[in-house]
Amino acid sequence: MTPQKLSKIENVEFTINNILEPNLLESEAIYIIREVVGQFEKPVLLFSGGKDSITLVHLAHKAFYPAPIPFPLLHIDTGHNFPETIAFRDELVEKLGLKLIVAHVQDDIDAGISKEESGRYASRNLLQTATLLNAIEKHGFDACIGGARRDEEKARAKERVFSVRNEFGEWDEKNQRPEVFELLNGTIDHGQNVRAFPLSNWTELDVWNYIRSEHIEIPSIYFAHQREVFIRDSMIWSVSPHVYKDEDEVTQKSWVRFRTVGDMSCTAAVFSHATEIDAVIEEITDSKISERGARIDDKRSEGAMEKRKQQGYF
């Protein structure tokens, strides 16, 4: 299947423009994606359905066009997704003619590899790690391109662009390879893999501005909509079969949107009336809370992200 052009001009191929003024963040991300393809035999793009991984797909498309994206997408499906993100995922894959691999957390629970958490804060977030590592091993992936950004979280601020994982998927955060200039060294032994982060130097606002300027489509839950929610620990939780709710927790219908999208059990909403992208960008610019302030998975302890990363998390 011939890949479709992503930009707004769908019917004109190779329009002639005069001068290309680079967006340096875009150039850097494309450079990194191309290095992954140049240095590894079996790369994969970790796709969550969130805005960062959608941006990655857009960048990968730009990096190789008119050739198709030369690697598949891998979605670690917790089974607790927002239905909107799954529908969006399938449309995107269809439109661009991509190969999608879905690994189900449920399968690992059924096989006894993972154990479902219970209680008020039960989430399948942590269980994704085992499913991810199994999928990497099963398919023999040697590089996983991820949408993590350094501005998101303090442990991520420490990570290299090419970050080596051993055969157990572990990140040795105290002994990372030096990474000088733009010179990336992805040499690894068989069984190891590299996590590659093209968006390392992007901030949340950079991603949003890029989505706006490139007219990239994103799932509707990023924009304000009415939803049945309840408040716990000053966070806004969605009412869903996948989210534990005490009987005395009162629900309400509110205008909300999601600033970051994990699965339903670990992503809290924010109150918002921003129904289109300009309003979203304005809201983020004025926000006094960080993006991951709405991530329940980061709140478990001060080193929550680092501990997950050590074990092989995204």
Partner 1 sequence: MKNVLKIATAGSVDDGKSTLIGRLLYETKSLEEDKLKAIETSSRNKGYDYLDFSLATDGLIAEREQGITIDVAHIYFSTNLRSYIIADTPGHEEYTRNMITGASNSDVAIILVDARKGKLPQTERHFLINHLLLTNHIVVAVNKMDLVDYSEEVFLEIKKTIEELAIEYPDANRTIHFVPISALKGDNIIEPSLNTSWYNEKPVLNILESIEVNNSFNTVSLNIQNVIRPKTEQYHDFRGYAATVRGGDLAVGDSIEVVASGQKSKIKSIYLAGDSFKKAKEGSAVIVELENDINVTRGDFLIVGNDKYVKQKSIEAQLCWMDHTALSERSTYLLQQGTSRVRCKLKVSGEKLMKHHLNETDALAINDIGTVSIKTSKEIIGTSYATDKNLGRFIIIDEKTNNTAGVGFIL
Which residue ranges make up the site for partner 1 (CB under 8 A)? Answer: 2-3, 5-7, 13-27, 30-31, 34-35, 37-38, 61-68, 150-151, 153-158, 160, 173-174, 176-183, 185, 187-189, 200-201, 203, 209, 287-290, 293, 302-303, 306-307
**Residue 43 or residue 219: which is nearer to partner 1 going by CB?**
43
DSSP labels, 59-108: HHHHHHTTSPPSS-EEEEE-S---HHHHHHHHHHHHHHT--EEEEEHHHH
Q: How far is the CB of 13 from partner 1 (least distance, A)?
A: 6
Of residues 190 and 247, the one with the C-beta less far from partner 1: 190
Kindly tell me which of 176 and 254 has the beta carbon lying closer to partner 1.
176
Our CB check for partner 1 shows the closer of 226 and 234 to be 234
Other beta carbons less than 10 A from residue 278's beta carbon: 9
Determine the Cα–Cα distance for residues 53 and 220; give it in Å rounded to an integer.
15
- Cβ 126 to partner 1 shortest distance, Å: 17
Q: How far from 63 is each of 21, 58, 154, 185, 215, CA to CA, in Å?
A: 16, 9, 29, 20, 17
CB of 73 to partner 1, least distance (A): 19
If the CB atoms of residues 103 and 284 are measured against partner 1, the closer one turns out to be: 284
Task: Indicate the residue among 240 and 310 with the shorter CB distance to partner 1.
Answer: 310
- The CA distance from 267 to 261, in Å, is 6
Report CA-CA distances (Å) from 20 to 23, 24, 66, 78, 141: 9, 12, 18, 41, 35
How many other C-beta atoms lie within 10 A of the C-beta of residue 71? 22
CA 285 to CA 88: how far, in whole Å?
26
Smallest distance, Å, CB 131 to partner 1?
A: 25
The CB-of-307 to partner 1 minimum distance in angstroms stands at 8
Identity of the residue, 54 or 135, whose beta carbon is nearer to partner 1 in the bound complex: 54
Length of the chain: 314
Q: How far is the CB of 243 from partner 1 (least distance, A)?
A: 22
Q: Edge-to-edge, what's the strand order for the sheet holding 193-196?
A: 100-104, 73-77, 43-46, 143-145, 193-196, 162-165
Contacts of 286 (CB under 8 A, 6+ apart): none
Nearer to partner 1, 23 or 220 (CB): 23
Min. distance of Cβ 46 from partner 1 in angstroms?
21
Query: Alpha carbon of 180 to those of 7, 160, 162, 184, 197: distances in Å?
Result: 34, 10, 11, 8, 15
CB 211 to partner 1: min, Å: 14
